[in-house]
């Protein structure tokens, strides 16, 4: 009886291990079911990125916001199907996220070759990597096999996505909730080397930082004056866009970190990186280091982020249309 019990335990352990293994992300997940899946994604990216290099910034932001809410499951793509449905896409952090139409283009290309096989979550992850590479940025491994979530929640997006006005405590708490650390925070913030921001995301630093018509003392005063006189002319401006890394918004480089040290990051969250000794040490390291070192470390953090809370195996679904649950 004891031998039988031991054998049964061993069988269950082996079965559990097999189930666990099958449920993991892996490189080349679609090699048998859709052999050209990754090439199709890359081709669509390359067809569009040179005419619209800003797409890279839009996609990496979408990927980041998706992974911080219910994991990297494509839930940011889901549209509301009724007037009272509150989905992630409608939450304040996501109102200026771009790239939804592009993800639909990629999905259509894949569905025409391999219907019902490639998840929207994997499309976001692959397209983000390929777009960054296309503008001269780093590459990283993208193991695939993510499945799409069925739930998209407004409140979770509002509460879990790190805000541009977050202080260091807020940022490291939200990153820590996803299994990311100080180094990941500094590295992933480095994505601010590309893209633009609306004035409304930082104008309080220029015009009304503590509610008495003052400016943020942690921001370079000359830079504040320049922004107030040439770009964000009033606190009410919510349409003007400003480069996060002036002069090289489509170039993936180290200049973001140099701007942060000069107190010229646009967001409070940028300035927050200088308020903690460990974070500041990392900022200084990358500002004074080689681009290749930054690329290598950034790639590790991107791959780590891409594994947050993924749904695999029989969890979730493969959406036929990225904007709607099956």
Which residue out of 48, 50, 63, 65 is catalytically annotated?
65
What's the whole-number mean pLDDT along residues 242-256? Answer: 94
d(CA 319, CA 294): 35
**Per-residue pLDDT band at 100 (split at 50, 70, 90):** very high
253 is in an annotated binding site: yes
d(CA 248, CA 53): 12
Active site residue 65: yes
220 is in an annotated binding site: no
Contacts of 145 (CB under 8 A, 6+ apart): 24, 25, 26, 29, 122, 310, 312
Q: Which of 38-42, 104-108, 245-249 has the least mean pLDDT?
A: 245-249
133 touches 41 (CB < 8 A): no
Q: What sign results for the dihedral spanned by CA atoms 320, 304, 285, 133?
A: negative
Q: What is the pLDDT of residues 181-202, one digit of tens each?
A: 999 999 999 999 999 999 999 9
- pLDDT of 70 reads 97
Provide the whole-model pTM: 0.91
d(CA 227, CA 264): 11
| Nearest by Cα to 271 from 257, 254, 251 | 257
192 is in an annotated binding site: yes
* pLDDT beyond 60 at 7: no
What's the whole-number mean pLDDT along residues 131-135? Answer: 98
* pLDDT beyond 90 at 23: no
162 is in an annotated binding site: yes
Tracing tokens 């990311």 back to the chain, one arrives at 180
With a pLDDT cut of 90, the percent of the chain lying above it is: 91
**Per-residue pLDDT band at 21 (split at 50, 70, 90):** very low
125 is in an annotated binding site: no
Q: What is the pLDDT of residues 27-78, one digit of tens each?
A: 999 999 999 999 999 999 999 999 999 999 999 999 999 999 999 999 999 9
| Nearest by Cα to 119 from 83, 150, 153 | 150
209 touches 216 (CB < 8 A): yes
Average model confidence (pLDDT) across the chain: 93
């Amino acid at each position: 009886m004891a031998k039988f019990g031991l054998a049964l335990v061993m069988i269950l352990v082996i079965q559990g291990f097999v189930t666990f293994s099958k449920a993991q992300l892996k490189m080349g997940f679609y090699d048998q079911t859709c052999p050209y899946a990754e090439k199709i994604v890359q081709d669509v990216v390359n067809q569009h990125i040179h005419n619209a290099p800003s797409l890279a910034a839009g996609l990496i932001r979408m990927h980041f916001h998706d992974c911080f809410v219910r994991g990297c499951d494509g839930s940011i793509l889901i549209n509301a199907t009724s007037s009272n449905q509150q989905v992630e896409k409608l939450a304040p952090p996501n109102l200026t996220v771009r790239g939804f139409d592009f993800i639909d283009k990629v999905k259509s290309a894949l569905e025409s070759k391999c219907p019902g096989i490639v998840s929207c979550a994997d499309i976001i992850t692959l397209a983000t990597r390929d777009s960054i590479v296309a503008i001269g940025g780093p590459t990283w491994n993208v193991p695939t096999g993510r499945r799409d979530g069925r739930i998209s929640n407004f409140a979770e997006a509002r509460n879990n996505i790190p805000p541009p006005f977050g202080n260091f405590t807020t940022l490291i708490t939200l990153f820590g909730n996803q299994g990311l650390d100080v180094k990941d925070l500094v590295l992933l913030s480095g994505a601010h080397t590309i893209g633009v921001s609306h004035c409304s995301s930082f104008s309080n630093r220029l015009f009304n930082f503590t509610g008495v018509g003052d400016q943020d003392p942690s921001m370079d005063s000359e830079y504040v004056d320049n922004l107030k006189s040439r770009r964000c002319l009033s606190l009410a401006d919510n349409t003007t866009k400003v480069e996060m890394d002036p002069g090289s918004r489509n170039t993936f480089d180290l200049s973001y970190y140099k701007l942060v040290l000069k107190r010229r990051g646009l967001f409070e969250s940028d300035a927050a990186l200088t308020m903690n000794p460990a974070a500041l040490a990392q900022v200084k390291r990358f500002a004074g280091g080689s681009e290749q070192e930054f690329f290598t470390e950034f790639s590790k953090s991107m791959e780590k982020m891409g594994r947050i809370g993924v749904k695999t195996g029989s969890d979730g679904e493969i959406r036929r249309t990225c904007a709607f649950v099956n």
